[in-house]
Amino acid sequence: MNNDFVVKIENLEKTYRTESESLTILRNLNLEINSGTKVSIVGQSGSGKSTFLNILGGLDTATSGLIQCGPFLLNQLDEKKLTEYRSSYLGLIFQFHYLLKDFTALENIFLPAYMAGMPKNEAREKALQLLSDVGLSERAEHLPSQLSGGERQRVAVARSLINDPKLILADEPTGNLDPANSKLIGDLLFSMVDKYQKTLVLVTHDMKLASKADICYSIKDGSLVQVVE
């Protein structure tokens, strides 16, 4: 058995409760992801893809179940451990880029490393390398407002890698882009994950993009079911 897992989930359940009703979105969800594996998740709108990714990202909590990401047991983390988990273990990419508008492309990539305590020179070197990896060396000093949508998303991909995370979580990273840019960003994401040997969980409704992963799952009735092509 390969114990080099990055994600291990047993019996995850997520129920949203309001005063009048309770809604179970995820149930009996099991998943194991080995280091270096690229996983994609598809499923209808409202099926729970973002809920699932947010739980993995420590942005939401499961109602019950075991969720282990490397050494981190997600349901048991205090604020300090949660921050450590997010800054050291994870790289996050969303549909919207969430770049800081008053900072340049280079600074946006560099800041998470600097805030995590990396020496300034080292962080800058790494950020320049990542900027070059995503083909934006010429745009280092541009503000997000001076970049195209596709370029902003390229910066977001570079930023997700700056702290050398183990696991990259991407929720509809191409969702806001036109078809040509979607293809570019999708290809770039996979090539960066390969280059830096990361583990990837990608949520997308783009089947073509999803099929680039090693394993593709669909969320059906709250559980993950492998999609066989």
What, of Mg ion, ligand ADP, none, does residue 20 touch, CB below 5 to 8 Å by kind? none
C-beta of 46 vs 119, nearer to ligand ADP = 46
| Sequence letter at residue 201 | V
Q: Give CA–CA dist 7/5, Å, rounded.
A: 6
| Least gap, CB of 49 to Mg ion (angstroms) | 5
What, of ligand ADP, Mg ion, none, does residue 25 touch, CB below 5 to 8 Å by kind? ligand ADP
Q: Give CA–CA dist 43/167, Å, rounded.
A: 21
**Beta-sheet strands, E only, within 48-163:** 64-69, 72-73, 90-93
C-beta of 49 vs 86, nearer to Mg ion = 49
Q: Name, in order, each residue with C-beta under 8 angstroms of 176's C-beta and a sequence gap of 6 or more.
A: 95, 96, 149, 153
C-alpha angle 136-121-127 in degrees, rounded to nearest 5 = 20
| Half-sphere exposure for 53 (CA within 13 Å, toward CB) | 29
What, of ligand ADP, Mg ion, none, does residue 43 touch, CB below 5 to 8 Å by kind? ligand ADP
What, of ligand ADP, Mg ion, none, does residue 48 touch, CB below 5 to 8 Å by kind? ligand ADP
C-beta of 50 vs 153, nearer to ligand ADP = 50
Q: Which positions from 42 through 71 interact with Mg ion, judged by CB under 5 A?
A: 49-50
Which residue ranges make up the site for ligand ADP (CB under 6 A)? 16, 23, 25, 43, 45-51
Q: How many residues bind Mg ion (CB under 5 A)?
A: 2
What, of Mg ion, ligand ADP, none, does residue 91 touch, CB below 5 to 8 Å by kind? none
Contact between 160 and Mg ion (CB under 5 A)? no
What does 193-216 look like in DSSP terms, one character per residue?
Answer: HHHTT-EEEEE-S-HHHHTTSSEE
Contact set with Mg ion (CB under 5 A): 49-50
